[in-house]
Structure 1
Amino acid sequence: MKAVLAGTVIAEADESDLVRIEGNWYFPPASIAQGALVESPTPYTCPWKGAAQYFSVQTGDELHTDYAWSYPNPYPTAFDRVGKDFSGYVAFDPRVQISE
């Protein structure tokens, strides 16, 4: 599967390597294109997943603010709910096209 924004592939991995949580595909950290994500200071804590790290997505000369997020250290109970350790996996804003 691919995550594409403005014609730029941000992430690519086999569907079997992704995790689906609340309607979002989470890509493994190793699948993210080098230099595609820039850490954002935007704070957010999910009641059941924990503290999120937001990222802006770089495509050419454009920076798309807060178009991606990750949970670097999810709550241990979240692993039971999801069925897999998704630490550091990255999900994308709906404006990022996810396709096979």
Structure 2
Amino acid sequence: MNFIKIKNILISFLILFSLSLVLVLGIPREKTIIKIKTSYGRNFPQNITYKGEKGLIKYKIDLKLNENNIKKDPNSDKYYAEYSGTIRPEAFTFK
């Protein structure tokens, strides 16, 4: 009887802990991102891929060049290019 009570309390604690962990970390979902890169020439890479981690989630960011938005700064020799893409969660990490 006492063992069953301890087992039920432990299972209840684990369920509540996992639910609160999901609330704190959030459910991963895709997000749109826009990034501006600078260069001294008009040559920009077509795609940029970043990989990173935030908390327990590994992310992959694929950015594509928007060729219509390459602009030159009138005060300097710099060019600005706009990249847009999505942040996608790839996996959970437990280290």
TM-score over 0.5 for the alignment?
Answer: no
Which is higher, the Rg of structure 1 or of structure 2? 2
The structure with more helix, counted as a fraction of residues: 2
Give the TM-score normalised by structure 2. 0.29
Higher fraction of strand: 2
